[in-house]
Structures are given as structure tokens and as C-alpha cells.
Structure 1
Amino acid sequence: MNTLTVEDIDRIREVLSKYGKLPIAITSVGNQDDLYDAGLTSHASVNVMIALEDEFDVEFPDRLLQKSTFASVSAIADAVAELA
């Protein structure tokens, strides 16, 4: 399994900031914090997924198209690392 760098985590956070439409700053969300509790919607998570695919040149397979994949920065990082 690949591991992501701090820069990759920053890229994920940048995507979340731009496409997640969170009502709070992404900087106030910890890597393990629940993004849905922070205001991420199902619709916004689709936009985040598409942006992540572009940012990291990956494609999320059907098995990863579930709420838990996008529940936290860490969960997203794990999925991206698996696909990279």
C-alpha cells in the first residue's frame, strides 16, 4: 500500500476546502474528525470525489463509493493511497 506525504494530505484538504462546501474552515477539522458532522453533504462529497480523481489522477471504484470513504481526511487519504 502506498503512503501519502504531508503535501498529499494538504492537497486533500485543499480539495475539501474548495469543493466540500463546509460551513467551517477545513483548518479547524482534524484528520480523524467526521466530515459529515462538520457539514459535508452527500452532494458535496461527489464533487470532492471528482476533484480528488482529477487532483491525484485516480478513479474511485464502485466499492469505494460509500459514505465511510469520505467520512474523514484520514479515510480519504487511505482511499487515495490505495488507488495511487
Structure 2
Amino acid sequence: MKRNRYLLCLLASFFLLYYAVPRLSVTAEGPQGVFALAWLVLALFVIAGNLTGLLYHPKRPAKAGRPQSERFRKKTRSYMR
């Protein structure tokens, strides 16, 4: 389920980047240029985070072949005398 969320967020961030890059002026002076650079850096952080989550998603543990009654068996303690 998380994999689908990462993929959706990744596609949305690529769409926002595709839409915003032609409108941002990185070479502009003053606050406009700072905003453009900051927006692009944060967008790249979002893409990197979603790619990391998508690629390094932990695998589900393999199900053991033991019967269910053995999995929940109460452990007994033995004391040496």
C-alpha cells in the first residue's frame, strides 16, 4: 500500500516540476531568484525522498511453515537446582 502512495507522490511531484520549471526564473535577481532556487531544491528533496522510499521499501518477512499452535506456545522456565 505504501508503494502505491510513493508512486503517486512521485508522479505528482514530477508533474509539478514539469509545470513549474518553465515559469521559474533561476537567473532573476532578488527574492524571485531565491524563491525559484529554493522551490527547485525542495522539489528535488521531495523526489529524492519518494524515490528512496520506493526503491528501499523493506520486504515482507517470509511466512514460517510452522503450525499456528506452535507459534503461540508458552515458553516454560527451568531452574537448575
Q: Same fold (TM over 0.5)?
A: no
| Structure with bigger gyration radius | 2
**TM-score for the superposition, normalised by structure 2:** 0.27
